[in-house]
Amino acid sequence: MDLSFSPEEEAFRQEVRAWIAQNMPPHLKAKAEQAAHFEMPEVMEWHELLYAKGWVAPHWPKEFGGPGFSATQRFILGEELELAGTPPLSPFGLVMVAPLIMRFGSDAQRQRFLPKILSGEEVWCQGYSEPNAGSDLASLRTMAVDAGDHFVVTGQKTWTTYAQYADWIFCLVRTSTEGKKQQGISFLLIDMKTPGVEVKPMQTLGDTPAFCDTFFDNAKVPKENLLGPLNGGWNLAKALLGHERTLVAAVGQTRRNLRLAKRLAAHHLGANGKPLLEDPHFRSKLARLEMRLRAHQMTNYRALAEQQKGHHPGPESSILKLVGSMLVQEADELCMELMGQSSLAWHDDEAVEPFERWVPPTFCYDRATTIYAGSNEIQKNIIAKLILGMPGA
Amino acid sequence: MNFDLSDDQKMLAKTVADFGKKESTVERFRKLRDADGLGFEKATWKKMGELGWLAIPFPEEVGGLGGSFVDAGIVLEQLGKTLVPEPYLSSVVLGGHALWLGGSPAQHEKLLAPMMEGDTILALAFAERNVRFDPRCCATTARREGDAWVISGQKAFVLDGHAADHLVVAAMSDQGMQLFVVDAAACERKTVRLMDGHRAAHVTLRDVSVGEDRRLTARPAVEVLERVLDFGAAGAVAEGLGVAFAMLWTTVEYLKTREQFDVKIGTFQALQHRTVDMFVEVELLKSIHTESVVRASEEGPERTRAISAAKLQLAQGGQLVSRQAIQLHGGVGVTDEHDIGLWFKRMHTLVTICGDESAHVARYAATMDAS
């Protein structure tokens, strides 16, 4: 039992911290300082810098251009990036579709797609949810009809995050209506410039243009863009959910949020004109969040220690998404409460301090954290069934 | 970073778990609870001493086995699963650690060693009536008379004090707080039955005289008490983890067998999600418990932070488990006949002793970094 990082790991942490301090462009640092929302071009600017350093895909195997990091190095890099508030990279290519292409793709597909995901030359988005297929994803109805050397795709995907910036979309489509609904699904890679593909951005609750509706109207997709077997897409989707869940412990994000909360508590005055940081009520609220985050962080370390040994994630990892997403929201809620009436201002740099401007929109948008990557209710269904062995209905 | 138990530690966990399953089931606890007597058995205590469990966390130079507090945590977690009633937490963790940290080699040999053998029981008498958890609030006094010290006052809720041979008593002198090892026989003791079936003592000291050789002087008394209460809090969390684990899986099994509306009630999603909530809290408790037993032997702010965070998780998460376990058992959960309520009551004790939720949140908040 040893809960400390090794001297080599601590040295790596210092290296990462120093590199970020020296290489993060000032305009991005300024936004990070204000906990501001990064637009896609800023995200891709940061992507290029990390790519040049060789750190853009810490979890990729060396043969595909990854840095060959240990699980602990990956964790430290991720945590330092989160703590510094660097733009969060778009996960759709690097974290979601790339591991599937590595595992299920042909050599031709790997060579075609992976280098451009790594360099950031091609940006990806995810085509899973449909207006009538959310948590019940297998009921999706976007059809891909076999037309010889290509499929003809027709249907609608929704909440496709940043589709307006994407060059490619990976989609679950229906290629058969026979048998169980999970069995007729295939995994297609679709060029967003294909005629018949249309993107309509919509505002999120945070008034950011992060969501889109993506329409397919007889879009021709070459058959070489089928990933994995025909009608075998559901297995790929399940494999991807595994990756996605480990993404969202969000320890660094919540630690940053907590730091912001303390800054707000020092800035806002309570009874008798004293800062809220000196108010026992608010101080104990901050303490409680920090104490609970500590338990979550130790759970993350447990999952990390298992990964480091090369084991599959155990029961502790299944709760990371559940707890991480709730703590993100609780930190947001505490920030809003600390701001009092200032929390009413909406995208206004003058009515409130610049570092406060993004608190309300973030509070609104982060309602998504308990919904995306498999809603928390779906996560609970999975834990009830697979870990607690609860009987089916 | 490595969360694995060593082979020896795994063996220890298995040995204690087997003891709970075969020799000290919840049924045994229930019988001892309901009988007149100590609420546990001195023969079993002696056996624990022979197995080395009572010596395990103490260093070899004081006659211990040279283990760590992680080992004490392993024992306590397993004891919690079947509510083993012997006074491990009160005698090994509270009384024993006070003697270890505060005592001289001669005191270790004379007073700590017999406890490690299972021949005696030690208890920590720091709490007083209507004082919450601050050991510095102490009205009991000690005054010097020649070569001796004369102690007067009342101590409340001395855990297992009814059965102890020696009490480590906190008393205020004109030189500040002092700790003395007092023979239990020299005090007036009234046995107090606790909610969870364990016993404690209210102790009255009327001009009890002890020699200088019974004063603990290796470290300042307040420092000893603070560290010992942290060991106690970490130990309570360890035992509480065992309690929570037992309640979770007992409840899961119940949902898989109990039928209503012609189906197993475990098929209902509302109830499934409740058990997942319990599972989540047990995993978080396991994580922060691990940090707290590892850091319990450290000095400095990370120890107190980790232990307070663990105690908060026991209070919130552990009690979510114990409350929902009753709820999911329905009416039978509210009967004394069913075991689930026995764990529920033990959980309340463990949450309360050595600082409850409010006390630990307040302590953490007081020293929280400003950024």
CATH code, domain carrying A73: 1.10.540.10
Residue B215: strand, helix, or coil: strand
Indicate whether A269 and A215 sit together in one domain. Answer: no
Q: Examine the fold and report which residue of A218, A239, A260 is the final residue of a domain before the chain moves on.
A: A239
Confidence of residue A271 (pLDDT cuts 50, 70, 90): confident
DSSP symbols for A21-84: HHHS-HHHHHHHHTTPPPPHHHHHHHHHHHHHHT-S-TTS-GGGT-----HHHHHHHHHHHHHH
Cα–Cα distances in angstroms (integers) from residue B3 to residues A74, A294, B135, B320, in the given order: 18, 16, 33, 25
Are A382 and A257 part of one and the same domain?
yes
The pLDDT value given to residue A373: 81
The residue range of the domain holding A46 is 7-89
Residue where one domain finishes, among candidates A188, A215, A239: A239
Q: What is the pLDDT of residue A4?
A: 87
Place of tokens 């002092």: B178
Output b/e per residue, A373-383; b: 16+ Cβ within 10 A: bbebebbbbeb
Range from A15-29, A69-83, A143-157, B57-71 carrying the lowest mean pLDDT: A69-83
Residues A204, A260 within the same domain: no
Fold of the domain spanning B123-214: Butyryl-CoA Dehydrogenase, subunit A; domain 2 (2.40.110)
| pLDDT at position A374 over 90 | no
Residues 348-387 of A with CB under 8 A from B: 377, 380-381, 383-384, 387
Residue A245: pLDDT over 80: no
Higher per-residue pLDDT: B136 or B238? B238
Report, as an integer, the average pLDDT of B61-83: 97
Determine the pLDDT at residue A311.
75
From the centroid of its chain, how far is CA A29?
21
Most confident of A71-75, A79-83, A366-370, B82-86: B82-86
Question: The tokens of A56 are what?
Answer: 């853009």
Which residues lie closer than 8 Å to B299 by C-beta, 6 or more apart?
Answer: none
**Amino acid, res. B221:** A
What is the share, in percent, of chain A residues with pLDDT greater than 90? 80
Position A97 in a domain: no
Determine, for residues A319 and B273 on separate chains, whether the beta-carbon distance falls below 8 Å: no
**Overall number of domains in chain A:** 3
* Euclidean distance between CA atoms A245 and A122, whole angstroms: 24
**Beta strand residue intervals within B241-323, DSSP E:** 259-260, 263-264
Is residue A218 included in any domain, yes or no?
yes
**Whether the Cβ atoms of residue B277 and residue B324 lie closer than 8 Å to each other:** yes
* Strand duo B188-193 + B199-211: pairing: antiparallel
From the list A189, A253, A250, the residue with the least C-alpha distance to A221 is A189
User: What is the model's pTM?
Assistant: 0.94
Instruction: Return mean pLDDT, chain B.
Output: 97
Name the pLDDT band for A35 (thresholds 50, 70, 90).
confident
- Exposure string for B62-101, b = 16+ CB within 10 A, e = fewer: bbbeebbbbbbbbbbbbbbbbbbbbbbbbbbbbbbbbbbb
CB-based burial of residue B186 (10 Å sphere; 0-12 exposed, 13-18 middle, 19+ buried)?
A: middle
Indicate whether A281 belongs to any domain.
yes
Residue A321 lies in a domain: yes
One domain, residues A333 and A369:
yes
Using CB atoms, pick whichever of A1, A291, A292 lies closest to residue B4: A1
Residue in chain A lying closest to B265 (CA): A391
Look at A1 and B6 and tell me if their CB atoms are within 8 Å.
yes
> How far off is chain B from A291, nearest CA to CA, in Å?
5
What per-residue confidence (pLDDT) applies to A308? 79
The β-bridge partners of A260 are none
Q: What type of residue is B303? A: R
Residues A390, B310: C-beta atoms closer than 8 Å: no
Q: How far apart (Å, rounded) are the C-alpha atoms in residues B274 and A383?
A: 11
- How far apart (Å, rounded) are the C-alpha atoms in residues B317 and B278? 8
Cα distances (Å, whole numbers) of residue A142 to A184, A219, B110: 11, 11, 81
Cα A42 to Cα A48: distance, rounded to the nearest angstrom = 10
- Is A278 a residue of the active site? no
Rounded Cα gap, residues A78 and A139, in angstroms: 35
A chain contacts of residue B369, beta-carbon cutoff 8 Å = 262
Are A98 and A114 within 8 A, CB to CB? yes
ipTM attached to this prediction: 0.95
C-alpha distances out from residue B223 to A151, B75, B167, B304, Å:
75, 26, 18, 13
Residue type, B89: L
Q: What Rg value do the Cα atoms of chain B yield, rounded? A: 21
Q: Residue A313: which pLDDT band, with cuts at 50, 70 and 90?
A: low
Q: Quick one: pLDDT band at residue B35, thresholds 50, 70, 90?
A: very high
Burial class (CB in 10 A: 0-12, 13-18, 19+), B22: exposed
**Which residue matches tokens 């243009």?**
A209
Nearest to B362 among A284, A383, A389 (CB): A284
pLDDT at A135 over 80: yes
Q: Where are the domains of chain B?
A: 7-120, 123-214, 221-366
As its CATH architecture, domain B7-120 has: Orthogonal Bundle (1.10)
Report pLDDT for B62.
Answer: 95
Q: Does residue B11 carry a pLDDT above 80?
A: yes
| One domain, residues A256 and A350 | yes
Angle, CA B172 vertex, CA B166 and CA B178 arms, to 5°: 50
Question: Residue A311 belongs to a domain with what CATH number?
Answer: 1.20.140.10
Residue A286 CA to residue A358 CA, distance in Å, equals 20
Q: Which two tokens stand for residue B219?
A: 């470290």
Residues A252 and A295 in one domain: yes
CB B43 within 8 A of CB B105: no
Residue A163: DSSP 8-state: G
On whether both A324 and A259 belong to a single domain, the answer is: yes
- pLDDT per residue as tens digits for the range B88-132: 999 999 999 999 999 999 999 999 999 999 999 999 999 999 999
- How far apart are the C-alpha atoms of A162 and A364, rounded to whole Å? 18
Homologous superfamily of domain range B221-366: Butyryl-CoA Dehydrogenase, subunit A, domain 3 (1.20.140.10)
Per-residue pLDDT of B148-168, as tens digits, reads 999 999 999 999 999 999 999
DSSP secondary structure letter of residue B110 = I
Contacts of A217 (CB under 8 A, 6+ apart): A154, A196, A197, A198
User: What distance in Å separates the CA atoms of residue A318 and residue A297, rounded to the nearest whole number?
Assistant: 14
| pLDDT of residue A393 exceeding 80 | no
Q: Identify the weakest region by mean pLDDT among A208-212, B45-49, B149-153.
A: A208-212
The sign of the CA dihedral A372, A375, A376, A381 is negative
CA distance B74 to A141: 53
Q: Which chain B residues are Cβ-neighbours of A1 within 8 angstroms?
A: 2-6, 9, 70, 290, 294
Alpha-carbon distance B45 to nearest alpha carbon in chain A (angstroms): 28
Residue A393 lies in a domain: no
Chain A / chain B CB contacts < 8 angstroms: 140
Collapsing DSSP states into helix, strand and coil, what is residue A242? helix
Q: Cβ(A224)–Cβ(A364) under 8 Å?
A: no
Query: Of A237-246, B249-258, B356-365, where does mean pLDDT reach its minimum?
Result: A237-246
A190 forms beta bridges with: A169
Higher-pLDDT residue of B358 and A68 is B358
Q: Looking at CA atoms only, how far is residue A174 from chain B in angstroms?
A: 29
Q: Which of A39, A244, A306, A333 is catalytic?
A: A244
Query: How confident is the model at residue A318, as a pLDDT?
Result: 77
Min Cα separation A284/chain B (Å): 6
Check whether residue A262 and residue A303 sit in a common domain. Answer: yes
Question: Does the structure show a pLDDT above 90 at A314?
Answer: no
